[in-house]
Amino acid sequence: MPLNLSREEQKKIDRIINKLRRLDKQSLISYWITAELDEAETYNNLAWRTREYSWDPRIPELFEELAEESTKHAEILLNEYKRTYPKEKLIETDIPSIELELSLEDLEEYIRSGRLEDLVSVLMESEKIAEEIYRYLAEESSGDTKRLFEHLADVERGHYQKLKTLMESIKKEDG
């Protein structure tokens, strides 16, 4: 499904991905801990907004579920970070979260204007990007860390599939 991003938003996401590819493993894990928490916050905000503007309870319920899973991902990554780098603090990166680059204002506008297909499409693309980056991290890792990133990539794929199922349901009802 084509992504409904502006040219500028796509450029921002491309820049983020290029920066992520240049980080070392420790910095990447640090980044993704924060990114997963940002994603959880985004999904919680979207759940709140969709309850306010949508009559379909499936949408906020799914967003709440995805927020909870993202928080769990952050916890898993933090545990891995502590195991791998036991005495080191998280490394701050100057790389913004992909979810934050997908303007919450724009996502909320999709909700207010009833453009739920556009909203879900953008979120699907965000999950796809996260999966691809986790797969990249898995390729660059070994042992337990590799398995962790493979698992997280699979979970992101699951998020994508849940959103895709919701999208198909929305289209079928609108169709």
pTM above 0.85, yes or no: no
Say yes or no to pLDDT of 17 above 80: no
Instruction: Answer for the pair 67, 59: CB distance below 8 angstroms, yes or no.
Output: no
Query: What is the pLDDT at residue 168?
Result: 93
pLDDT digits 0-9 by tens, 53-107: 877 888 899 999 999 999 998 999 999 899 999 999 999 988 887 665 666 777 8
Q: What percent of the chain has pLDDT over 90?
A: 30
pLDDT digits 0-9 by tens, 128-164: 888 887 888 788 778 877 888 898 899 889 999 999 9
Complete DSSP assignment for 25-71: HHHHHHHHHHHHHHHHHHHHHHHHHHHHH-S-THHHHHHHHHHHHHH
Q: Which fold has domain 24-84+101-174?
A: Ferritin (1.20.1260)
Q: Where are the domains of the chain?
A: 24-84+101-174
CA-based Rg of the chain, rounded to a whole angstrom?
A: 16
For 92, the 3-state DSSP assignment is: coil
